[in-house]
Amino acid sequence: MVRRMPIKPYRPVRFWPWVRERIWEKAYELHAGDFQRSHGENPTTPTRRELREDGYFHRAKLIVLREVSREMRGRTSRDDEDLLGRVKTRMTWHEMKKRWD
């Protein structure tokens, strides 16, 4: 009898193509927001090369990958805000020292 390897389930969408598209969309949004703040007019559409050179692609990549990571783990930004709130309410070393004195 021949042993067959189990067949992996079909995944219709690969990870990077849709994430990369989301990164470009976010980069265009960031550029439009900055352009509108500084010029107050309708933004001209930049090329992808300009977005990379001006750092919008890198910023968008960080934002989108953070969002995707949260989505895949099932966390929301509200969970992170709660976590940050708890971290901020912790006493610092100087505050603890004052209590001891």
- Please report whether residue 83 resides in a domain: yes
Does a structural domain hold residue 10? Answer: no
Asked if residue 7 belongs to a domain, the reply is no
Output the pLDDT for position 34: 87
Q: How far is the CA of 12 from the CAs of 9, 60, 70, in angstroms? A: 10, 25, 21
Q: If pLDDT is split at 50, 70 and 90, which confidence band does 39 have?
A: confident
* 54: containing domain: 17-30+46-100
Spatial neighbors of 32 by CB under 8 A, at least 6 apart, are 43
Residue 85 lies in a domain: yes
The answer as to whether 90 is a domain residue is: yes
Helix axes 77-89, 56-73, angle to 10 degrees: 90
Q: Quick check: helix, strand or coil at residue 88?
A: helix
Contact of 44 with 50, CB cutoff 8 Å: no
Tens digit of each residue's pLDDT (9 = 90 or more) over 40-81:
676 678 999 999 999 999 999 999 999 998 888 876 555 555
Domain count, the chain: 1
Nearest by Cα to 61 from 19, 10, 96, 98: 19
